[in-house]
Amino acid sequence: MKSIKEVYGRPIVKFAVFTWLIVAGICLFQGLARADRGGIGDDDTIPLIKVGDKFPATELVSPKLKADREYLGLPDKPGFYLNEVKADVMLVEFMNIHCMHCKMQAPILDKVFASIEKDHKMKGRVKLLSIGVGNRERDLEQFRKEKKVPFPMIPDRDFVAMENIGYPEATPFIMILKKEKGNFVVKFAHLGMIKDPNIFLDKIRKLLEGVALAPSKQNYKSAYHLMNPHITKEKARKMFIDRLASLGYKVEKITRLDIKVRRPQQVYSVDVKKGGKTETWFAVVGAEGKICDVCHDVYFIYVFDRKGTIRDLLPIQFPKYGNKLFDKADVEKTRKAIVGKNVLQPIQFNEETDAVTSGTMSSQLIFRCVNRGRKIYEKLKKAGYIQ
């Protein structure tokens, strides 16, 4: 086979190379944008999605089942973008398998799906999709089997899609979108359960008929704008002193550092002394937004040394089912899973071994927050706090 140069000559080669560089640059930019938008530890939050916005260009995990890919009109490939779905209108749900209201919402959406599939004006033009925030594919498969969910469910294991829509304060979070000029545009968005399937169906029918939906008050906010650990420097100082004293360390100095981190996190340097040796550690007041709409947020402090080794973990608010707090055994289990690890290396969360009973979501959020520590470490090093 002849090369492009041999067939078309040198000018075409130059044009082809130039074009390739442009395309590669665009692809690289898109890839970096996706990494920044979904990456753990970013400084700036993404604007919260609202009515009138396009669904962001986020690469989602393709459904495992061929029937599900065919339902969405997708080719057989690992990932896809929402605008590739063959539909005029979509109902997209962000959910979590441990969320009580997500479980209660499932049969309602099943009825919506059944009504659409029976209506020749809607079938094929309207598609449903659930995105499992923080869930594994196998767990979604089990949930789907138990709840008899007839439409595709895909995992958002690392919260990439959730981050890219601005991290709504909880699940279930449901949007109805209409395709306009090749992009799905949000026409309706709601946080929490909607018990009547006809509410969905009425809005979907209107959109298919070209009727604009009546404006509705936005009932949700970004988790990052709502989180507040309610901890002062004095309270943090007392927690450091009391906890580290129990480990045989004396806290000599605590300083709040001016390091830009994602709100509402705080970063401190802590000079500790033990056996005549003084070390400087770094303490981060971590915060993660709840996943379920009836749960509480997760707040805690984790401490690491100059090498990035995690030395301790202090709970502020670790909620589990019913918003009861982790007991001592739960806290110790979590400590053992995290203390000794290094913030410079990804710390994998395993539901089977790391989750606290009735606190799986919170356990996962703790790991997720600690994994942000790599970025904080890098900022500390750049600022000269770590040599």
3-state secondary structure 218-236: CCCCEHHHHCCCCCCHHHH
Supply the Cα-derived Rg of the chain in whole angstroms.
24
Q: Quote the pLDDT of residue 31.
A: 35
Bridging pattern class, strands 298-304 and 277-288: antiparallel
Q: Quote the pLDDT of residue 166.
A: 96
All residue ranges of the chain with pLDDT < 70 are 1-44
Rounded Cα–Cα distance for residues 172 and 189 (Å): 11
Q: Quote the pLDDT of residue 233.
A: 84
Q: Is the dihedral of CA 156, 158, 160, 162 positive or negative?
A: positive
- 54 to each of 183, 185, 191, 237, 323, how far by Cα in Å? 7, 4, 18, 45, 35
- N residues, the chain: 387
Q: Quote the pLDDT of residue 44.
A: 57
pLDDT digits (tens, 9 = 90+) for 6-63: 333 444 334 343 333 333 343 333 333 333 333 333 455 789 999 999 999 999 999 9
Q: How far does CA 243 lie from the centroid of its chain?
A: 31
Cβ atoms of residues 51 and 189 within 8 Å: yes
Tokens (6 digits) for 213:
């939906």
Residue 70 backbone dihedrals phi, psi, to 5 degrees: -65, -40
Q: Which residues contact 357 (CB under 8 A, 6 or more apart)?
A: 320, 330
Tokens (6 digits) for 146:
């138990």
